[in-house]
Structure 1
Amino acid sequence: MSDASTELARRRNNLDAIRLGGALMVVLGHSYVLSGKPVAPPVIFDVPIHTLGVFVFFIISGYLITKSWLRRPQWKSYLAARTLRIFPALIVAVLLSVFVLGPVFTVIDLHAYFTDPNTWLYLRNLFLQPVFGLSGVFTTVPYPNVVNGSLWTLPIEFSCYLFVPLMMLVPRRARVPVVVVFGLACVAAVFFATPAQNVFGFYLLVTAAEPWVFFAGGMLCALLLERHLFRLDAALLGLFALTVVEAVRPSLGHVVMWVVLPYAVLALGLASSPIIRRASRFGDFSYGMYIYAFPVQQMVFATIGVRSLTVNLVIVVAVTAALSVASWHLIEAPALKLKTRFESTVPARGRRRASSSPKTLVSSDIVD
């Protein structure tokens, strides 16, 4: 398996650009929410744009992670790849928040800040246990006491990484039914779960359920559809039908979206548009954009106040883009190169089989 830069060079699809677009959707939606202004964020298919951006991430991950496991069903290399994708950048982001952002923006003295147990509780984010506040930090911004509200999705995402190999352990013929049952269980949770019901012992089932639905949709697309079956005309027709249903029967729109959106996102992502796919030439910046944008937005509000949406958004995107580029080149890509140490243990037969089909999707051993 080639290193990260070589893998990126081999990509011939729009997936990185679509994911970056999803990250920017999150940034845009949060710009409204965090400003404190009585203006709702844009809504698409009756879903806030930042929430829709999160759904895009889970759809693409469901597809790519399933393909990754099917190509190389090896626990060691699989878990190593997933861990190296999530944790290095997360560790840096969390430590920067505690030891740089916190001391700069806290309203209490540094001794009180570093001796307050709540400061150290923030390190639970290193173990995918979301903690959103730091002592005395961002107490006066419109959306107070939250440093990085985007981290809530990471434990849900990592749980999906564990679900994939578990569901793929069943016989081949049973895989689709198992994923369907999983997806339907998540749908039931969307409708019937209550905020009191936890998952992983600390996370709300009602919050995790819908991202899992879209992840299951991506998995089913990976299991049922060959790449040539993802057609842009079919995707556009599905989105048109979804728009009509939303207008005529809003109560059914969300259910139709669970079916249509995974196919539409993947049809656009797996297409090869020369202009769009150029987004991947320089790296995959979507993860860095996602994990840094929220604290940057809070810092901007704390520093210059709430200006016009355009002014705040331009500053946030510029600063976050610089951080995400640095994160990719200094942390994420070097970490992903370490995967080869684990892949070398895969039997030669498996390596030959993986390398014998260079035209298959070369997606995201490196990006998910």
Structure 2
Amino acid sequence: MHMKSNALHDNCFDVLRHLAALMVIFDHHHSLSGGVEPEFFGLTSLGSIAVYMFFSISGYLITQSFERRKSNIEYAKKRFFRIYPGLVICLIFTVYICCGMFGRLGFSDWATSLEPVKTFFKVLCITGYGTVYLSSHGMNYFTTDYIFKDTMNGSLWTLFFEILEYIMIALFLSVFRNKSLAIAIPLFLAIALLIYCNAVSVAHMKLISLGFLTIPFCMGALLYLNRDKWLSSRSMKLMMFIFPWIMFYLSSFSPLFSDALISMAVCLLTIVIGLTFKDPLIKGRFDFSYGIYIYAFPVQQIVINELGMGFYTSMLLSISITFVLAVISWFFIEKPAIEWSRRVIKRPESVIPADRTLD
């Protein structure tokens, strides 16, 4: 997400992403401590709102990236180098350091065995919930005796759906001439899927997750594709800010439509706020949000269960440790990988880069 034009920095998406990452930590800290996740006006968990925010911003910026690509290969490379380098190092930290130091086998015995290699590659394949619910043996029994048992990194499941959305954007925008229609089709299917799952009480988590994460992503994409119709209009922005609160209200009376209404409402608010206010601090210079998101869960597990601190003390310490890891990840892993990918792609200078450093 690095642009020569300052136009891409005339938003506060970076701030919103960091806020969403902190919301996930706050939400998870309750469940990892044995409590109940805080809710957003009694409608859904705060963590779900944060994930909707992430996917809304991704939908907007990834569509922008695809539209400005030089080729589909370039698009795929950018997406790969944004996700995998940071994830690889995070998995080494989690599988070898966390599982090795806080598991049952000693560190050297665990690190030199074949089991962490299997776990590493299983999670690296990003199979959704398969990255979360691993065998105790495969984690060296790390977290087996914790309050929130047998979960090494409960945040990584969303990466599977993030990658699916990247593929979906490329597929539909390449096939259909009408770009808005191209995104409206999966959006409609996702809404229909959620309504069906609510109507017949389907308990298939991957199916449900695909529905409620595709909605904000596609909404963000549609808002980007139609930005000329609303972005410069104050009255349209005001309507887009007010209407979500009506949707939140209506969702409490309509269980069949509640998930769809909430995710669409969050997307509208996220995008309109993100493009209405400016970011005086980050301005595309860094993005610690991904590192915060992927490192926080194992750090919280260890701090909560090994140190015996109070709720807020352990949360502040978890945030501090996670922030340090995220900063290291950004400056030494993620940013260099992004810069290296740009050299590999070798775009002509006359072509505007497809995205900033962080989409």
1:102 is aligned to: 99
Of the three residues 38, 41, 46, the one matched with 1:41 is: 38
What is the aligned length?
344
Describe the superposition over 1:131-170 as per-residue Cα deviations: whole angstroms up to 9, x where unpaired. 3341210122110111101000011101111111111113
Alignment partner of 1:222 out of 221, 224, 227? 224
Q: Distance in 2 between matches of 1:145 and 1:177?
A: 43
Assess, with a 3 A threshold, how the Cα gap between structure 1 residues 162 and 19 changes in structure 2: closer, same or farther.
same
Q: CA deviation at 1:322?
A: 0.9
Q: Could you say if the C-alpha distance between residues 88 and 57 of structure 1 is closer, same or farther in structure 2, counting changes exceeding 3 Å?
A: same
After superposition, residues 109-124 of structure 1 pair within 5 angstroms as 109-110=106-107, 111=109, 115=113, 117=115, 120-124=118-122
Alpha-carbon distance in 2 for matches of 1:314, 1:63: 32
**Which of 339, 342, 367 does residue 341 from structure 2 map onto?**
339
Report if aligned partners of 1:187, 1:213 keep a CA contact under 8 Å in 2: yes
Paired letter, 2:314 = N
TM-fit CA distance, 1:248: 5.7
Q: Which residue of 2 aligns with 1:359?
A: none
User: Given the alignment of the two structures, is residue 178 of structure 1 paired with residue 178 of structure 2, yes or no?
Assistant: no
2:155 match: secondary structure: helix
Q: 1:169 is paired with a residue of what secondary structure?
A: helix
Offset, 1:339: 2.6
> For each residue in 1:271-313, what CA deviation from the matched residue of structure 2 results, as whole angstroms up to 9, or x when unmatched?
233xx441346511110010001011001012212x4331121
Whether contact under 8 Å (1:58, 1:157) holds in the other structure is yes
- Residue 243 of structure 1 deviates from its aligned partner by 4.1
1:208-249, CA deviations, whole angstroms, 9 ceiling, x for partnerless residues?
A: 221111111111111122232476533331233234324665
Q: In the alignment, does 2:285 pair up with 1:264?
A: no
1:48-92, Cα deviation, whole Å (9 max, x unpaired): 001110111111101111111112251121111100100000000
Question: What CA distance in whole angstroms lies between the structure 1 residues aligned with 2:64 and 2:155?
Answer: 26
SS in 2 for 1:31: helix
Change (3 A) 1:89 1:315: same
Which residue of structure 2 lines up, in the alignment, with residue 300 of structure 1?
303
Aligned to 1:278: 281
* Alpha-carbon shift at residue 124 of structure 1 (Å): 1.4
Q: 1:294 to 1:6 in 2, by over 3 A?
A: farther
1:92 matched to 2:89: yes
| Mapping for residues 40-189 of structure 1, pairs under 5 Å | 40-44=37-41, 46-110=43-107, 111=109, 115=113, 117=115, 120-129=118-127, 130-132=130-132, 133=134, 134-173=139-178, 175-189=179-193
Equivalent residue runs for 1:227-238 within 5 Å: 227-229=231-233, 232-238=237-243
Deviation at 1:96, TM superposition (A): 1.2
1:240 aligns with 2:245: yes
Asked whether the 8 Å contact 1:98–1:122 carries over to 2, the reply is yes
Q: Distance in 1 between matches of 2:121 and 2:211?
A: 25
User: What is the CA RMSD across the aligned residues, in angstroms?
Assistant: 2.7
Match of 1:208 in 2: 210
TM-score by length of 1: 0.84
Corresponding residue number in structure 2 for 1:325: 327
2:21 maps to 23
The answer as to whether partners of 1:85 and 1:336 remain within 8 angstroms in 2 is yes
Distance 1:262 1:167 in 2: 20
Q: Assess, with a 3 A threshold, how the Cα gap between structure 1 residues 302 and 244 changes in structure 2: closer, same or farther.
A: closer
Cα distance in 1, alignment partners of residues 19 and 34 from structure 2: 24
Measured after TM superposition, the shift of residue 107 of structure 1 is 2.1
Alpha-carbon displacement from aligned partner over 1:313-350 (angstroms, at most 9, x marks no partner)? 11111111111111111111111002323432x5x5xx
Alpha-carbon separation, structure 1, partners of 2:42 and 2:237: 19
The amino acid across from 1:180 in the alignment is: A
What TM-score, normalized to structure 2? 0.86
Structure 1: how far apart are the matches of 2:252 and 2:342? 50
Q: 1:45 to 1:282 in 2, by over 3 A?
A: farther
Q: Does 1:352 align with 2:322?
A: no
Q: Distance in 2 between matches of 1:326 and 1:7?
A: 27
Contact 1:242 1:260 (C-alpha < 8 Å) held by counterparts: yes
Q: Is the 8 A contact 2:95 2:116 kept in 1?
A: no
- Structure 2 residue matching 1:283: 3-state secondary structure: coil
Q: Is the 8 A contact 1:119 1:135 kept in 2?
A: no
Q: CA deviation at 1:41?
A: 1.7
- State how far apart, in whole Å, the 2-side matches of 1:295 and 1:78 are: 31
Percent identity over paired residues = 25
